[in-house]
Structure 1
Amino acid sequence: MDYLIYGIFALIIFFLVHGMLPTKGIKQISTLDLKQQLNHRNKQYIDVRTPGEFKVNSIRGFQNIPLQQLPNKLDGLSKEKEIIVICQSGMRSSKACRLLKKQGFQNITNVKGGMSAWS
């Protein structure tokens, strides 16, 4: 019985850790790196926070597409341009990046730490 409990515990830990690891093929940048890349015409900047969060504090040049709405807004994004994704902490943007990757987008970048790290 103890082995079963340990096995279940190990499986839960595996899925928790696996969910936090960056997805292969998705770049990770710091907010400092983002500052150097802002306003490039060949990039798309997406903020996946809620409209309320975006209204309170946002970065010029970022388009607000809340994570829940992203699957319905993919047609408005170019697969030819890099997509840089931000949220409040980096968790929702990581989910958004995985969704974009599954939908065939190739050049995707997540901002580590999100708006919490932006100064």
Structure 2
Amino acid sequence: MWFLLIAAALIIGYAVIRYVNQRRYLTTLTSEQFREGYRKAQLIDVREPNEFKGGHILGARNIPVTQLKQRLQEVRKDKPVYLYCQNQARSARAANILRKNGYQDLNQLQGGFKKWDGKIKSS
């Protein structure tokens, strides 16, 4: 029983530390804030291609998080990066990959694409 409690405490502690650390390098923006800044930035949809084709924010490029390490050369370090996925989980993973590779101005859409209320395009 004690083992399970200790394991649960360690998992929760790790999650809290990771969340706090992530807030240092990744800014979460509301739809309004995201809309105000994404035209001056690199807008990247990190969902899979079939999700992207089903609908995406107008002007976004599709670089799935599963391909990001191989496609880092497509993302400039001198411009802000605006990331989104379906609900924030993959964009947070993508931001971590980018941070580890020297990217600094990283932003994600709060709530992900499912909370987006701006213009979209379907392929």
Output aligned runs, 1:63-74, within 5 Å. Answer: 63-74=61-72
Aligned to 2:79: 81
Aligned to 2:108: 110
Aligned to 1:25: 25
Structure 1 residues not aligned, in runs of 5+:
none
Using the alignment, how far apart are the partners of 1:48 and 1:61 within structure 2? 13
Aligned to 1:60: 58
Distance 1:13 1:38, change over 3 A: closer
> Identity of paired residues, percent?
31
Aligned to 1:14: 13
Residue aligned with 1:85, SS: strand
Aligned residues: 116
TM-score (norm 1): 0.88
**CA RMSD between the two structures:** 1.6
Structure 2 residues not aligned, in runs of 5+:
118-123
